[in-house]
Structures are given as structure tokens and as C-alpha cells.
Amino acid sequence: MSADALVGRRIVVSAGPTFEDIDPVRFLGNRSSGKMGFAIAVAAARRGAEVVLVAGPVALPTPPGLQRIDVRSAAQMHAAVRAALPADAYIGAAAVADFAPAEVAGGKIKKQADGEGLTLQLVRTRDVLAEVARHPRRPVLVVGFAAETDNVESHARGKLGKKNLDLICANRVGLAGSGFESDDNALVVYGKDFERALGPAPKTELAEALLDIVVARLSTGDASAPARDQS
């Protein structure tokens, strides 16, 4: 694949978790490290793309040659991704929280003397991926990720159709040596009439393989077209 295959293209990538505050010292979060999204952003920049990386709270240095926007919450990620449009492609590798506390306490919530538990009311967050896919300035290519613990293919294909995505990258989480927090992973990329397994491999290699598919689709100008085999 040409090193300048994405010159003139604008790619928006989201990576990492979101943290949804409960009070000034507690939050709801997840185990996403951001490694996959950062690897994708690096691979896109290496191929000449103008890359905007919207990063949740992660402990990763900023890669050279791209613009990084740091956010904390799902609401902040939603706003930052929308502000980064228009783009040729959006790759939503972030693990955005589906729910957030309805209210954030102004002070630390104290334990009750009688030992009673705490009940939190949660509300749905904005669906960043689905909203980008139906945005008036929708990117040519919208790519999602689905981290699942069971029925991986059916859940991933369901999200692909429901959210009007062009591609979705599915992986099973909870397995030793892959998924969240690991340097390695294995993905299956689904599209309409398209399926390709990638890995197991380091996330840096998976990012390059995924970018091969992205480049092929952008070069045809048809996100629904089958990607050319790069093997």
C-alpha cells in the first residue's frame, strides 16, 4: 500500500474510554486503553492523512503528525467528534459509555452509617457513532467497533445495520492476551456482503490491515464496495 495513499484525506479517529462522573472523586468508566485507536491514527497519519484524534482519558503520549483533542465524558467526545467534521472517514474505536449518572453530586458522596447501599439513576448518553452516520456532513466511510463477550457476529452485524455503518470491527473481550489493555487483539471486519478476519496480531499490525481496507474503499468512492484483497 502506497505511503501517500491518504494524502488529501481527512480522517477522524476516536480512542479510549469515557469517564462519567458520579461525584468529584468517583466515576463510571471502562477498561479501554486507547491503544487500538492510537495505532489507527498513527497508521493513517503515516499514509499522509490529516488526522484528528479525539482521545478519552488514556495514559498514552501524543503521536507526531496529527491533531489530538482530549476529552473526558461521552458528551465531550460527542461534541469534539462532531466539531471535527467534515471528514473523509470516521473510525470510532473509542469505548464510549452508554450510560451516565443523571446528576453529578457537588461533593463526595459519604457512606451511610446504617450500611445502606447507594442507588444511581443512569441516563443514556448520545450515540456518537450513530449520529455521525446520519450527520448532514456524513463522512464517506463510517467505521465502528464492537467489543462483545458473546454472540459476537450477530451483535456486530446488528449494530452495523442499526447504526447505518459502512464497516464494523468486532472482537471478543474477556480473553487473555487480547482486547482491552492488551497490546494484541483479533478483529473480524464486517460490512454489507463483506467479512474479513484480522489477527491475532499486535494492534499496530491490525491498524495497518484495517487502513488497507479503508484506503481501498475510499479510493473507489463507494463505501459499500467490497475492499480489494491486500494479501
Annotated catalytic residues are: 30
Give the DSSP H/E element, type plus range, for residue 50. Answer: strand 50-55
Q: Are 28 and 100 in contact (CB under 8 A)?
A: yes
Q: Are 89 and 11 in contact (CB under 8 A)?
A: yes
Spatial separation of the C-alpha atoms in residues 216 and 80, rounded to whole Å: 27
Spatial separation of the C-alpha atoms in residues 87 and 50, rounded to whole Å: 9
Strands 26-28 and 50-55, bridge-based pairing:
unpaired
Contacts of 217 (CB under 8 A, 6+ apart): 141, 166, 167, 223, 225, 227
Spatial separation of the C-alpha atoms in residues 10 and 197, rounded to whole Å: 26
Q: Strand locations in 150-193, DSSP E?
A: 167-172, 184-191
